């Protein structure tokens, strides 16, 4: 306990360690927040969800905060519906069970670009006679455009861009830009637009509900991808996955390497020789190619890859480093004393040899976390990421596959990349400082 | 300095004897290392094949190849074309069965794997399923060998540059221990936790997408310039970004490591002694600091190259560099098993070659290397 306190006190002397520690804490906090906010099953449902989950979002939308940095103004996406009151609905009963439904939705449009798409999702309930609906588009400069007159079935989708009648009425193939342009000057009209919908039902219990979806150029905190998915989900959930992969892999690798090195040095003879030979063979084995083979042939599950990673990373150069130190420790007086009072070999290995090395283990463990976090991302970029879990690497893979850099969707790569970079640098900085604290030889240099 | 007392003739003689024994020592060491390494490589490749064949994937490669060959021979034989489809199919099946028996697909897996091992060691890697080489061949060996020069060019250039520039800078820094630049390098060394492909993405973003001064990827302009000078210039231009990201990803850490070695060795007593003797600082550095640290530096460099070999797969993919790594990436996409297995074997060979070359250099620079000792 005292030693731990001491270590912490020393850590405060290294600014990079403080930064690293803060990053690690922030990541752990984010990981727990993600797991509590979006439970595992919900995260998978959202990540694997298609159009039916994400229809409200535009495709390839940058995050909304780019408006702060850009001189141009991008339209923000929104979706409003009558069922939850975000779009006010007024029902006026008429004669013989009929009723009139008035829905007016005003919104301010100040963007320099046209929205990607606008869609009305209509639903109604009725016995025999379908309700009827007519919609109008009111522009800030006082024009009034008739949009649709239609009878609504139980569930119906109205797409502005595909309405042939509207196309002829506006004399254009591209309806949506035309709705936001002054036909005389050809410029975008900014100001308050109104979508005015009047519905009529012909039965006592008949009702209409409408959802108005506006696909702008920007969306939310993180933007969206090619499948309209909100990137906050994989960005948030990537944190626990990356941390789990990195920490388990580095912990497993370092501990197993150390234990095997200790056993080899203690028993010596053929065991030591065998460990040395295995290490030499393992250095020749192409690590990534073998992981690729396992990923393509057997399983892409992150846990299988994790197991293979640990197995392949045990017998590396590190085992030689540990061995050379264990050889020195083995000759120490306290080991001799332990042997003299009759301690068994396993006891000496696990209670005398290994605890001595823990100060050396910790910096190595922390410094190797980034390598494993990036390994997961690397495999994902090669298309061998976990098929189910949302991870940072999967975002980069999707972005790369959709040519994000060529097409200018920089946010798509920069968001996961920044998180990966912060994680990597945070652990590396902490590891470096720990190395200097635990290895006094380095401290003066 | 001590040479002054010798006559020139004597000096040459001494040198000759010294170089002779160096030659003997190194060659004995090299032969032993070569033997142990080849055993290591054989076992390594056997393990690779075992992993690949656990689900019978190498067997599938062999079966497909036999099927292809038999069908083609029969289709090409005019005498067989008279046969009706039914008996022709029967004939093909019979031939495939006998061919599979000949090649030993009916013997136990362990024995079969040994046969594949000898095939792999001789680079008989079979035929690709979907991919072809630029010359139109489906031989995995040809596809891979065609791609190898591009990988070697990129890796070789960037690693030599990395090695020499970081040793040079580390020497300079060790002289100015505690200066601003020294502290900067120490502070920047954690940046090496980030793999090269990752820097590659940022490089592409900055230099290709935003500034538009360097190409996004590829190896030469399309179409390739016919003039050799233009061709090399174009090649150089395309190499800047991937090379820079490979170098950058290990630059600060290697300077930091080398600098630490230099500092440790420069605090030795014999260095102080050399300085006290009044040797010029250049000589002190070369003979008393650089020389004894070289083995350490080379070991460090070897480990670095080994990690870079694997990392290069993705760097090549990100930069569309037509090397081995990108071929492997495409093979994953097309599920071309023979290429995946084949390139794993080639990578094992390359790693062994790297280890061997570094051992060789190690033996040259470290006079303490003793064979059989």
Residue A60 zone, left/alpha/beta (φ > 0; ψ -120 to 50; rest): left
Q: Which of A283, A296, A410 sits opposite B340 (nearest CB)?
A: A296
Contact B310 A427 (CB under 8 A): no
Contact B190 A16 (CB under 8 A): yes
> Is pLDDT above 60 for B5?
no
- B47: contact with A, CB 8 A cutoff: yes
- B44: contact with A, CB 8 A cutoff: yes
Reported as type and span, the H/E element at residue A107 is strand A99-109
**Percent residues over pLDDT 90 in chain B:** 2
Q: Give me Rg for the CA atoms of chain A.
A: 31
SS3 A286: coil
pLDDT for position A408: 80
Distances (CA, A) of B185 to B171, B254, B256, B302: 13, 10, 7, 21
How is residue A284 written in tokens? Answer: 């020749």
How far apart, in whole angstroms, are the C-alpha atoms of residue A59 and residue A218?
A: 9
SS3 A231: coil
Provide mean pLDDT across the span B210-219: 83
- A281: contact with B, CB 8 A cutoff: yes
How is residue B312 written in tokens? Answer: 């290069």
pLDDT for position B12: 46
pLDDT for position B55: 66
CB-based contact A388:A49 (threshold 8 Å): no
By DSSP bridging, strand A132-138 and strand A89-93 are unpaired
Report the side by side order of strands in the sheet with A78-81: A78-81, A207-215, A117-125, A155-159
Distances (CA, A) of A70 to A53, A64, A75: 30, 11, 12
How far apart, in whole angstroms, are the C-alpha atoms of residue B199 and residue A421?
A: 10
How far apart, in whole angstroms, are the C-alpha atoms of residue A178 and residue A169?
A: 11
Residue A13 per-residue DSSP state:
T
Q: What SS3 string covers chain B?
A: CHHHHCCHHHHHHHHHHHHHHHHHHHHHHHHHHHHHHHHHHHHHHHHHHHHHHCCCHHHHHHHHHHHHHHHHHHHHCHHHHHCCHHHHHHHHHHHHHHHHHHHCCCCCHHHHHHHHHHHHHCCCCCECCCCCCCCCCCEHHHHHHHHHHHHHHHHHHHHHHHHHHHHHHHHHHHHCCCCHHHHHHHHHHHHHHCCHHHHHHHHHHHHHHHCCCCCCCCCCCCCCCCCHHHHHHHHHHHHHHHHHHHHHHHHHHHHHHHHHHHHHHHCCHHHHHHHHCCCCHHHHHHHHHHHHHHHHHHHHHHHHHHHHHHHHHHHHHHCCCCCHHHHHHHHHHHCCHHHHHHHHHHHHHHHHHHHHHHHHHHHHHCCCCCCCC
Nearest chain B CA: its distance from A42 CA (Å):
29
- B40: contact with A, CB 8 A cutoff: yes
How is residue B203 written in tokens? Answer: 């490089």
Contact B263 A445 (CB under 8 A): yes
- B174: contact with A, CB 8 A cutoff: no
Query: What does each of the 445 residues of chain A score in pLDDT, given as a tens digit?
Result: 677 777 777 778 888 888 999 999 999 999 999 999 888 888 888 888 877 878 878 888 888 888 888 778 888 888 888 888 788 888 888 877 788 888 888 888 888 888 888 888 888 888 888 888 888 888 888 888 888 888 888 888 888 888 888 888 888 888 888 888 888 887 888 888 888 888 888 888 888 888 888 888 888 788 888 878 888 888 999 899 999 999 999 999 999 999 999 999 888 889 988 998 888 888 888 888 888 888 888 888 889 999 999 999 888 878 888 888 888 888 888 888 888 888 888 898 888 888 888 877 888 888 889 989 998 888 888 888 888 888 898 898 888 888 888 888 888 888 998 999 899 999 988 888 888 787 766 555 4
> Is pLDDT above 50 for B8?
no
How is residue B135 written in tokens? Answer: 């010359």
pLDDT for position B368: 64
Torsion sign across C-alpha atoms A47, A155, A94, A203: negative
- B34: contact with A, CB 8 A cutoff: no
Nearest chain B CA: its distance from A29 CA (Å):
22
Contact A428 B344 (CB under 8 A): no
- A202: contact with B, CB 8 A cutoff: no
- A365: contact with B, CB 8 A cutoff: no
Nearest chain A CA: its distance from B129 CA (Å):
15
Q: Which of A284, A296, A383 sits opposite B351 (nearest CB)?
A: A284
Q: A with B: how many residue pairs have Cβ under 8 Å apart?
A: 142
pLDDT for position B33: 80
pLDDT for position A442: 57
- B357: contact with A, CB 8 A cutoff: no
- B194: contact with A, CB 8 A cutoff: yes
Select from B193, B230, B208, B231 the least CA-distant residue to B318: B208
Q: Which of A286, A297, A445 sits opposite B260 (nearest CB)?
A: A445
Which residues in A lie closer than 8 A to residue B194 (C-beta atoms)?
370, 374, 420-421, 424-425
Which residues in A lie closer than 8 A to residue B43 (C-beta atoms)?
281
Q: Which of A382, A417, A441 sits opposite B201 (nearest CB)?
A: A417
- A421: contact with B, CB 8 A cutoff: yes
Q: Which of B329, B333, B351 sits opposite A286 (nearest CB)?
A: B351
Residue A223 zone, left/alpha/beta (φ > 0; ψ -120 to 50; rest): left
Q: Which residues contact B174 (CB under 8 A, 6 or more apart)?
A: B259, B262, B263, B266, B289
Q: pLDDT by residue (tens digit) across B29-82?
A: 778 888 888 888 888 888 888 887 776 766 777 777 778 878 888 777 777 777
**Percent residues over pLDDT 70 in chain B:** 89
**B window 215-274, beta carbon within 8 A of A:** 216, 260, 263-264
Provide mean pLDDT across the span B316-335: 84
Report the side by side order of strands in the sheet with A191-201: A89-93, A99-109, A191-201, A132-138, A144-151
> Is pLDDT above 50 for B318?
yes
SS3 A345: helix
How far apart, in whole angstroms, are the C-alpha atoms of residue B299 and residue B77?
A: 59
Residue A78 zone, left/alpha/beta (φ > 0; ψ -120 to 50; rest): beta
Which residues in B lie closer than 8 A to residue A284 (C-beta atoms)?
37, 40-41, 44, 348, 351-352, 355
- A285: contact with B, CB 8 A cutoff: yes
Cis check for the bond before A230: say yes or no (omega within 30 of 0). no
Which residues in A lie closer than 8 A to residue B205 (C-beta atoms)?
405, 410, 413-414
Interface test with B, best of A273, A289, A419 (most B CBs within 10 A): A289
Which residues in A lie closer than 8 A to residue B36 (C-beta atoms)?
280
- A396: contact with B, CB 8 A cutoff: yes
Question: Over chain B, what is the mean pLDDT?
Answer: 79
pLDDT for position B104: 67
Q: What is the largest CA-CA distance in chain B?
A: 97
Instruction: Render the burial of A249-259: b for 16+ CB within 10 Å, e for the rest.
Output: bbbbbbbbbbb
Q: Which residues contact A141 (CB under 8 A, 6 or more apart)?
A: A182, A189, A191
Contact A374 B40 (CB under 8 A): no
Nearest chain A CA: its distance from B292 CA (Å):
18
- The pTM for the full model equals 0.82
Which residues in A lie closer than 8 A to residue B208 (C-beta atoms)?
405
Q: Which of A286, A378, A384 sits opposite B197 (nearest CB)?
A: A378
Residue A416 zone, left/alpha/beta (φ > 0; ψ -120 to 50; rest): alpha
Q: How confident is the model at residue B98 (pLDDT cuts 50, 70, 90)?
A: confident
pLDDT for position A307: 92
Q: pLDDT by residue (tens digit) across B221-269?
A: 777 788 888 888 888 888 999 999 999 988 998 888 888 888 877 777 8
Select from A284, A282, A321, A323 the least CA-distant residue to B359: A284
């Amino acid at each position: 306990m005292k030693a731990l306190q001491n270590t912490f006190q020393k850590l405060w002397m290294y600014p990079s360690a403080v930064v690293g520690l803060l990053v690690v804490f922030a990541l752990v906090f984010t990981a727990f927040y993600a797991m509590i906010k979006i439970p595992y099953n919900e995260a998978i449902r959202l990540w694997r969800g298609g159009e039916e989950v994400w229809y409200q979002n535009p495709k390839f939308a940058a995050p909304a905060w780019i408006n702060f940095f850009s001189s141009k103004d991008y339209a923000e996406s929104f979706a409003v519906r009558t069922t939850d009151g975000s779009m006010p609905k007024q029902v006026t009963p008429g004669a013989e069970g009929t009723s009139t439904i008035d829905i007016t939705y005003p919104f301010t449009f100040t963007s320099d670009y046209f929205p990607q798409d606008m869609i009305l999702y209509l639903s109604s309930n009725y016995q025999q006679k379908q309700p009827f609906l007519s919609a109008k588009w009111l522009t800030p400069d006082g024009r009034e455009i008739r949009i649709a007159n239609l009878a609504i079935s139980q569930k119906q989708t109205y797409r502005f861009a595909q309405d042939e009648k509207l196309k002829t009425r506006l004399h254009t193939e591209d309806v949506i830009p035309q709705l936001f342009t002054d036909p005389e000057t050809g410029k975008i009209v900014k100001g308050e637009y109104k979508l005015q919908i009047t519905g009529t039902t012909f039965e006592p219990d008949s009702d209409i509900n409408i959802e108005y979806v506006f696909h702008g150029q920007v969306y939310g905190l993180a933007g969206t991808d090619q499948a309209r998915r909100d990137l906050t989900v994989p960005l948030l959930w990537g944190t626990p996955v990356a941390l789990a992969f990195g920490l388990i892999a580095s912990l497993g690798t370092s501990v197993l390497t150390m234990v095997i090195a200790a056993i080899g040095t203690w028993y010596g003879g053929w065991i030591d020789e065998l460990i040395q030979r295995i290490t030499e063979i393992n250095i020749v084995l192409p690590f990534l190619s073998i992981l690729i083979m396992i990923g393509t042939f057997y399983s892409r599950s992150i846990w299988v890859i994790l197991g293979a990673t640990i197995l392949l990373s045990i017998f590396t150069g590190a085992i030689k480093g540990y061995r050379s130190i264990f050889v020195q420790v083995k000759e120490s007086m306290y080991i001799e004393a332990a042997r003299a009072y009759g301690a068994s070999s396993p006891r000496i290995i696990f209670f005398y040899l290994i605890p001595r090395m823990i100060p050396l283990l910790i910096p190595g463990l922390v410094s190797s976390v980034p390598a494993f976090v990036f390994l997961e991302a690397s495999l994902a970029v090669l298309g061998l990421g976990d098929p189910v879990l949302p991870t940072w690497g999967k975002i980069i893979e999707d972005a790369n596959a959709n040519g994000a850099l060529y097409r200018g969707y920089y946010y798509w790569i920069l968001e996961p990349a920044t998180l990966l970079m912060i994680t990597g640098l945070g652990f590396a900085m902490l590891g470096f400082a720990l190395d200097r604290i635990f290895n006094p030889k380095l401290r003066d240099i | 300095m001590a040479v002054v007392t010798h006559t020139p003739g004597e000096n040459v003689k001494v040198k000759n004897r010294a170089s002779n024994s160096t030659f003997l020592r190194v060659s004995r060491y090299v032969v032993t290392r070569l033997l142990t390494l080849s055993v290591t490589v054989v076992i390594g490749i056997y393990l690779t094949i075992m992993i690949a064949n656990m689900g019978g994937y190498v067997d599938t490669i062999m079966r497909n190849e036999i099927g292809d060959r038999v069908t083609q021979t029969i289709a090409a034989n005019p005498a067989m074309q008279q046969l009706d489809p039914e008996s022709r199919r029967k004939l093909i099946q019979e031939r495939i069965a006998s061919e599979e028996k000949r090649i030993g697909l009916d013997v136990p897996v362990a024995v079969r794997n040994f046969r594949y091992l000898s095939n792999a060691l001789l680079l008989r890697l079979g035929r690709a399923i979907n991919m072809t080489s630029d010359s139109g061949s489906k031989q995995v060996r040809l596809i891979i060998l065609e791609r190898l020069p591009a990988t070697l060019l990129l890796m070789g250039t960037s690693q030599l540059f990395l090695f020499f520039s970081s040793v040079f800078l580390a020497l300079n820094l060790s002289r100015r221990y505690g200066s601003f630049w020294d502290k900067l390098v120490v502070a920047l060394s954690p940046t090496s936790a980030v793999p090269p492909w990752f820097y590659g993405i940022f490089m592409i973003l900055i230099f290709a997408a935003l500034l538009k001064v360097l190409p996004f990827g590829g190896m030469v302009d399309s179409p390739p310039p016919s003039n050799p000078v233009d061709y090399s210039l174009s090649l150089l231009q395309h190499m800047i970004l991937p090379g820079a990201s490979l170098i950058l990803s290990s630059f600060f850490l290697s300077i930091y490591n080398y600098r630490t070695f230099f500092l440790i060795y420069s605090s030795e007593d014999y260095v102080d002694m050399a300085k006290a003797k009044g040797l010029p600082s250049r000589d002190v550095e070369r003979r008393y600091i650089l020389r004894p640290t070289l083995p350490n530096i080379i070991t460090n460099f070897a480990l670095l190259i080994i990690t870079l070999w694997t990392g290069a797969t993705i760097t090549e993919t990100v930069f569309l560099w037509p090397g081995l790594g990108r071929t492997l990436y495409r093979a994953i996409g097309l599920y071309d098993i023979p290429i995946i297995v084949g390139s794993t074997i080639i990578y094992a060979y390359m790693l062994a070659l790297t280890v061997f070359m570094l051992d060789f250099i190690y033996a040259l620079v470290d006079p303490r290397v003793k064979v059989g000792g």
